[in-house]
Structure 1
Amino acid sequence: MAVFLTFFLFLSTFCLATTSAQQNHPNISLGSSLTPTGNSSAWLSRSGLFAFGFYKQGNGYVVGIFLAGIPQRTLVWIANRDSPNFSSNVSLVLSSDGGRLVLQRTGSPDVAIASPSERISSASMLDSGNFVLYNSDRRILWQSFDQPTNTLLPGQRLVANQELISSSSESDVSKGIFRLEMQPDGNLVQYPKGTSRPQDAYWASGTFGSGPNVTLNLEGDGHLYLINSSVNILQNLTVGGYPTHKIINLMKIDGDGIFRLYSISLDGGNQSIRWESTNNKCDPKGLCGLNGFCTMNDTIAYCKCIPGFDFVDQGNWRSGCERNFTAESCKTEGISDKFTIMSEPSTVWDIESYDEFDAATEEDCANACLQDCNCEVAFFKDGRCGKQKLPLRFGKISNDSNIALVKVGVLNGSINEDKMPSNLPKSSKKEVRMDVLISGISLTIFGILILSISVIFVYRNWIRAYTKLSPNIGVKFVEDVAPRAFTFAELEQATNEFKEELGRGACGVMYKGILPNSQKVVAVKSLEKVLAVGENEFLNEIRVIGKTHHRNLVRLFGYCIDGIKRLLVYDYISNGSLADILSKPENHPCWDERIRIASDIARGILYLHEECETQIIHCDIKPQNILMDDNNCAKISDSGLAKLLNHDQTRTYTTVRGTRSYVAPEWHRKLPVTIKADVYSFGIILLEIICCRKSVDWSTSKDQSILKEWAYDCLEAGEIHKLVGDEEVVDMRKLERMIKIAIWCIQDEPALRPSMKKVLLMLEGNVEIPDPPSSTFFSAV
């Protein structure tokens, strides 16, 4: 009874405070608007403590609610979290027709922040930190307290089926990878993104079975607790009683996956942590990505890769890890001599062993994995051994006695002897280390000597050749060395004033031309939305692209810089594009030609990723950019063009380039984009080549309209023959091989996708292709 009275008094006080705030708040009328710059960038609450409007974040602006009355502003609510950042040419408008609260951008669709079903009459930013929209009767139609993002304010509740989602990082407030969910069964649970399996939870209140009306509540003094519909407190997460004078207490789930209670000083903006769900920063599952595990350095959490693996993105250790050696086929003769086992002790993982048995020693477990083609890692603990395939998930260092035994290549893998199984003789380790050290030093010295001689020789010949150039050449270069500089008048004459258009895309228009002196047929691309860089910067990028010479790339022959005009001159490819071939049944290639075309494309991408002087991510691999020469050799066009385009062109495919079907998921998730984005695009194209159809075709039946989903279903059902039709004469083993390669390439997680080098090896049949993850695992990761 005492608990009920206490809660009743709290509710009464809160309701009176809210009513008072609603009666005295500053009114925001229809037609009011905000802009990021100038005097009208936010709507303030009456006290000036909270504001709703534009918040400076990096080079752009975020729309949200923030603590405005302190020196160091703090975001407590974020709008449009799937794509929260906006440039300065945007305005926030409470529409005059009373329909909605929207962001308006010139030349782009409106972004709705709130669209109630009833007509809006006014709005207000309350001193509680709640932004509300009213109808004409002063009834609340919409409020930010009902749409929590990553923070809970005093007086705010988290009800059943609501969740708080972490930000990606301190500098990126888009949705991160951790969430705190108030489940309908009354349990408050933390999960990594993409899963709600009980075994994947890393924190829970333990209040399951308490009914559907359990809520998480925060009071002004920092009291954080769960109560049910009978007004019984089920669990106190904090007891409260923290100071409230010139201090605000709030709860937030941080980017590291831990939710904390903060006290923020309203005088200086200083923050102090009053309580946190765990003090072990490695507890949140998924912090390190696939095949990585979390470890602590004092109070700092960081990620490491399992033996034989390196980070997918060296600048982002949360990106997951991939093999640093090429996996050979299990059926290769003498394969047992090409692998060894390296151990990672005291680690725990999400273990899903396909075979588990008794093993007397760690050595017995390691040997069992070496002899099993399917085994990629084994776990040994308390006399039990479990074999498992990759990838590994949710790894961390702990006091557990579990040992991860990872199979790595002897010749190509980077072997750390400190992680070799403990039963190997110490003397043999020393001998191997000394041999490797002596060989390494000798090769390094020899390499430096050869390199020095080569540099001197090349430099002397380059000087001699340069002095022979005519003074009239100016900025032109020898054709075989670098792209040639054209004047605009020359290209205007060559294209007959740009009359014959070959194609049009988001990055520019392509015209056919004939160079007057050499009668060489060329394709001239007039670029649009080029980066606003100076002439030297543009030339530097052109020279980098111009050095990319490969039989499967369309060659950049020259360029033009004339004021703001930027044009590129390519070799003319006369036989159309891959899109043309796939769109007409009479042009469909035979099975062997399909494999050859796929291999051509793979070689071109591999060259861009690993073999040219500067690594290039193409960013727009699609059939329209794959051209076919007279010998039906596939050549990739627009290689390196992403380096010269505006930021929005390389990132916003849905509105700019229109190639959504080929865009990797990380583009839309605002995650770092690596060469694995091109691998995803190749996977989609490989499916199109195999099946001779578009990746999305709404003229087909519903279950076949999206090719990648249909291919996945057919592979799992053992019905891959449906993908090519009965009239096709195809080797089913080769067809299954190609489908597996494509599905590995289009995995949502970049870390799961193979490198282009491995893709080419798989296409050529030089390595065994494991079964891709099942569709249920794929959707849960």
Structure 2
Amino acid sequence: MAAFLIFFLFISTFCLATTTAQQNHPNISLGSSLTPTGNSSTWLSRSGLFAFGFYKQGNGYVVGIFLAGIPQRTLVWIANRDSPNFSSNVSLVLSGDDGRLVLRQTGKRDLPIANPSESISSASMLDSGNFVLYNSKRMVIWQSFDHPTNTLLPGQKLVANQDLISSASETDDSKGIFRLVMQGDGNLVQYPTGIPRVQDAYWTSGTSGSGPNITLNIEDDGHLFLINSSVNIIVNLTIGGYPSDKIINLMKIDVDGIFRLYSIHLDRGNQSIRWESTNNKCDPKGLCGLNGFCTVNDTEVYCKCLPGFDFVDQGNWRSGCERNFTAESCKTKGSDKFAIRHEHYTVWDRDSYDEFDTKTEEDCANACLQDCNCEVAFFKDQRCEKQKLPLRFGKRSTDSNVALVKVGILGSTDSNIALPKSSNKEVRKDILVSGILFFVFGILILSTAVIFVYRNQIWGYTKIPPNIYVKFVEDVAPRTFTFLELEQATNEFKEELGRGAFGTVYKGILPNSQKVVAVKRLERVLATEGEKEFQNEIIVIGKTHHRNLVRLLGYCLDGNRRLLVYEYMSNGSLADILFKQESHPCWDERIRIACDIARGILYLHEECETQIIHCDIKPQNILMDDNRCAKISDFGLSKLLNHDQTRTYTAVRGTRGYVAPEWHRKLPVTVKADVYSFGIVLLEIICCRKSVDWSTSEDQAILEEWAYDCYEAGEIHKLVGDEEVVDMRKLERMIKIAIWCIQDEPTLRPSMKKVLLMLEGTVEIPIPPSPTSFLSAV
């Protein structure tokens, strides 16, 4: 009954608001017209904030709705997206002859801009950004809010089986290559354009099975959520609460395939990103076109071609790639015309026609060379897969997969080429016959598999029971748990994973999803805080998402019992693999781990909404996932800073050996305290030993002192020992970075952004001074 009353009030309020809007906004009468140039190019809303009409873009004009009352115009709705640009010799007419809204072009038929079911009598551009058409009874017969293109404004919704489609580019608002679909099964999903396939989704709200008539909604304060027909919120994508005075919060699917919540300041015209569906710009599938793969350098994304390929359009690296050699048919005998080039650490959409086990990468490459149908092979975990071109949805990854690409051998001087083992041009007849039979058999098996996969996956969503959580969504606010739920999930807190400064961590399995989680039972921390303060901290943690941060899934607040639920890290902590002789990472993996940690700290310092100083960076607080990707934990429990606060004075926090000197000197503590801790951890990663180890000789016991002594004496090889072969230039670079990070004077330490650039080798590293030179000068 209560739900019905809420729904009734909601509908009543909406109808009243609509009626008021119709009465208060200027009327556009029949016979009115617009032209791209001159003083009559738009119809404005009453406040002048929104305009409907012609929008200058490139060498032509677009018909649409845009924010006109700000210095930097923003297009929010586009008409005729299949061919949106028009020349200046057109006019937009609300025809009095037949009651239609059309675009008139000389020598061409009228182009309808809207297709209501009956004749138009008048129109209005509302202050909400909604352009409406009325019949003779002043009833709305068409409105732009019902036909969203790539943007949602407050009060607008995306209903079941509707989608938003990105623009082709920043200067072309025709339909692009990404779409956000509000599916009929209740799931909000992002796909590349085309026929949606379950396996092609690259983001989902995880709400499949939540019922029909689910809609995506946005409110004035940036609250973005999914709601059902009973006005019950299914999931919050953002919690809202963003300023709305002289600010418009809107949602848009961008050219890069990520949909974001923006706040646009009406006085200055500038905009800021409040939330985005993913912070990995390579997640959208198809960003780089066919045979190209996406990679990220710092925060910039760019595309690369497979070896032996060049961009189709050199001025547009998203156009995809094509061979830079002539491919010969299977009628051409001899594998010595081709070679294999290797592309490591990439993942692609798989569509193999042949798979088999093989021990080495070289065997897989040779198999592709001997098979004229093979154009690329993938090798991973002693498994070889042959595939034909084109390749789709490529991106750089930490995955150990190797792409073995067949290229023309003539003129190639690349050292990364695997030549065929044998130059014998004659193929034995029995091998040829066997190969043909094997190929035919493979085609039959592949066809059967395709049919089977298609029949099972096309109905994948409808077979999911409504009461099962499909997955946890990274960008959804943390969910609440009862203490009883977590007690059952952890089998009464039976399996302890570890103890830390904030409490004890237990392994658990959530009953609904069977997802393995880590449950932290807080003991000393936050004990004096009230419920509101605790929930405020949870909100901050829930908004903090990065691939190098351990993700918070939920929390429990039950009296003085406070627990946090995190994603489970199967490979333990960095300390587990760093300080055990049998599990030491190789040199390249150490560099990758250091970069992972740097990216996570950089996000906390500069990129998340609320700046965070971690205060306790150490190997025990750096966890490793299934792929040994490093993720920082316990960041949400450290000191939080507001946007206008850059330093804090507080009691000493952190762990002995990693604490920055300013903690002990009553100096202001800034983000540079984390830089110091990172420098100590970096030395530990380099040397695979603890920062303080009294089991060694006295001159080696304190790692940072020994490291600088070795660097100054030109004996850095002592830090890694003789049993390991490392690149001495890279080792020196890493040591120099660490020494800069552990400078006693905080202002001498680089920012984490500079640290990451130095780790990636993109900036020069000056010779560092002695870390304690500041103390000597005091």
TM-score interval (norm. to shorter) = 0.5 to 0.7
* 8 A Cα contact 1:158 1:216, kept in partner: yes
In structure 1, what is the Cα distance between the partners aligned to 2:217 and 2:224? 6
Structure 1 segment 164-203 matched on structure 2, within 5 A: 164-203=164-203
Q: 1:401 to 1:343 in 2, by over 3 A?
A: same
The answer for unaligned runs of 5 or more in structure 1 is 425-781
* 8 A Cα contact 1:308 1:415, kept in partner: no
Match of 2:369 in 1: 370
1:416 to 396, 414, 417: 414
Structure 1 segment 316-355 matched on structure 2, within 5 A: 316-333=316-333, 335-355=334-354
Deviations 1:177-231 (A, max 9, x none): 1111111111111111213011111111111122220110111110111111222
Match of 2:745 in 1: none
* 8 A Cα contact 1:313 1:319, kept in partner: yes
* 8 A Cα contact 1:14 1:155, kept in partner: no
In structure 2, what is the Cα distance between the partners aligned to 1:407 and 1:388? 11
Match of 1:34 in 2: 34
Structure 1 segment 521-670 matched on structure 2, within 5 A: none
Match status 1:102 vs 2:102: yes
* Helix, strand or coil at the partner of 1:108: coil
Which amino acid is the alignment partner of residue 357 of structure 2?
A: D
* 8 A Cα contact 1:41 1:54, kept in partner: yes
In structure 2, what is the Cα distance between the partners aligned to 1:170 and 1:3? 43
* 8 A Cα contact 2:122 2:133, kept in partner: yes
**Deviation of 1:26 (Å):** 0.2
In structure 2, what is the Cα distance between the partners aligned to 1:185 and 1:379? 35
Deviations 1:457-478 (A, max 9, x none): xxxxxxxxxxxxxxxxxxxxxx
Structure 1 segment 223-262 matched on structure 2, within 5 A: 223-262=223-262
Deviations 1:40-90 (A, max 9, x none): 111111111111011111121111000011111110000011111111111
Deviations 1:621-652 (A, max 9, x none): xxxxxxxxxxxxxxxxxxxxxxxxxxxxxxxx
In structure 2, what is the Cα distance between the partners aligned to 1:35 and 1:93? 9
In structure 1, what is the Cα distance between the partners aligned to 2:325 and 2:190? 36
Q: 1:283 to 1:137 in 2, by over 3 A?
A: same
* Helix, strand or coil at the partner of 2:109: strand
Structure 1 segment 46-61 matched on structure 2, within 5 A: 46-61=46-61
In structure 2, what is the Cα distance between the partners aligned to 1:343 and 1:92? 56
In structure 2, what is the Cα distance between the partners aligned to 1:293 and 1:283? 11
In structure 1, what is the Cα distance between the partners aligned to 2:35 and 2:66? 16
In structure 2, what is the Cα distance between the partners aligned to 1:26 and 1:329? 68
In structure 1, what is the Cα distance between the partners aligned to 2:418 and 2:19? 69
Structure 1 segment 143-542 matched on structure 2, within 5 A: 143-333=143-333, 335-412=334-411, 414=412, 416-417=414-415, 419-420=416-417
Which amino acid is the alignment partner of residue 224 of structure 1?
A: L
* Helix, strand or coil at the partner of 2:110: strand
In structure 1, what is the Cα distance between the partners aligned to 2:256 and 2:75? 17
Deviations 1:378-426 (A, max 9, x none): 11111211110111011000111111111111115x4532x446999xx
* 8 A Cα contact 2:222 2:241, kept in partner: yes
* 8 A Cα contact 1:33 1:91, kept in partner: yes
In structure 2, what is the Cα distance between the partners aligned to 1:405 and 1:130? 53
**Deviation of 1:13 (Å):** 4.3
In structure 1, what is the Cα distance between the partners aligned to 2:20 and 2:200? 44
Deviations 1:570-606 (A, max 9, x none): xxxxxxxxxxxxxxxxxxxxxxxxxxxxxxxxxxxxx
The answer for unaligned runs of 5 or more in structure 2 is 422-778
Structure 1 segment 709-720 matched on structure 2, within 5 A: none
Q: TM-score, normalised by structure 1?
A: 0.52
In structure 1, what is the Cα distance between the partners aligned to 2:223 and 2:8? 15
In structure 2, what is the Cα distance between the partners aligned to 1:294 and 1:5? 51
The structure where helix makes up a greater share of residues is 1
**Deviation of 1:233 (Å):** 1.2
In structure 1, what is the Cα distance between the partners aligned to 2:54 and 2:325? 48
Deviations 1:501-531 (A, max 9, x none): xxxxxxxxxxxxxxxxxxxxxxxxxxxxxxx
Match of 2:87 in 1: 87
Which amino acid is the alignment partner of residue 262 of structure 1?
A: Y
In structure 1, what is the Cα distance between the partners aligned to 2:49 and 2:160? 29
In structure 1, what is the Cα distance between the partners aligned to 2:118 and 2:330? 65
In structure 2, what is the Cα distance between the partners aligned to 1:69 and 1:7? 34
Which amino acid is the alignment partner of residue 164 of structure 1?
A: L
**Deviation of 1:271 (Å):** 0.3
In structure 2, what is the Cα distance between the partners aligned to 1:58 and 1:79? 16
In structure 1, what is the Cα distance between the partners aligned to 2:214 and 2:140? 23
* Helix, strand or coil at the partner of 1:288: coil
**Deviation of 1:342 (Å):** 0.8
Deviations 1:517-563 (A, max 9, x none): xxxxxxxxxxxxxxxxxxxxxxxxxxxxxxxxxxxxxxxxxxxxxxx
In structure 1, what is the Cα distance between the partners aligned to 2:299 and 2:4? 41
Q: 1:384 to 1:266 in 2, by over 3 A?
A: same
Q: TM-score, normalised by structure 2?
A: 0.52
In structure 1, what is the Cα distance between the partners aligned to 2:388 and 2:281? 27
* 8 A Cα contact 2:30 2:99, kept in partner: no
Which amino acid is the alignment partner of residue 82 of structure 1?
A: D
In structure 1, what is the Cα distance between the partners aligned to 2:361 and 2:235? 44
* 8 A Cα contact 2:368 2:375, kept in partner: yes
Q: 1:361 to 1:7 in 2, by over 3 A?
A: farther
Match status 1:115 vs 2:108: no
Which amino acid is the alignment partner of residue 367 of structure 2?
A: A
In structure 2, what is the Cα distance between the partners aligned to 1:38 and 1:390? 52
**Deviation of 1:310 (Å):** 0.9
Percent of aligned positions that are identical: 82
* 8 A Cα contact 1:45 1:51, kept in partner: yes
Q: 1:51 to 1:59 in 2, by over 3 A?
A: same
Which amino acid is the alignment partner of residue 206 of structure 1?
A: G
More displaced 10-residue stretch of structure 1: 208-217 or 171-180? 208-217
**Deviation of 1:369 (Å):** 1.1
* 8 A Cα contact 1:165 1:175, kept in partner: yes
Q: 1:408 to 1:92 in 2, by over 3 A?
A: same
Which amino acid is the alignment partner of residue 217 of structure 2?
A: N
Deviations 1:144-163 (A, max 9, x none): 00111000000001011111
* 8 A Cα contact 1:342 1:421, kept in partner: yes
Q: 1:242 to 1:14 in 2, by over 3 A?
A: farther
In structure 1, what is the Cα distance between the partners aligned to 2:263 and 2:198? 32
Deviations 1:724-750 (A, max 9, x none): xxxxxxxxxxxxxxxxxxxxxxxxxxx
Q: 1:235 to 1:7 in 2, by over 3 A?
A: farther
* Helix, strand or coil at the partner of 1:366: helix
Q: 1:240 to 1:416 in 2, by over 3 A?
A: farther
Q: 1:4 to 1:257 in 2, by over 3 A?
A: farther
* 8 A Cα contact 2:99 2:121, kept in partner: no
**Deviation of 1:366 (Å):** 1.0
* 8 A Cα contact 1:98 1:121, kept in partner: no
In structure 1, what is the Cα distance between the partners aligned to 2:111 and 2:119? 18
In structure 2, what is the Cα distance between the partners aligned to 1:205 and 1:20? 35
Q: 1:18 to 1:322 in 2, by over 3 A?
A: same
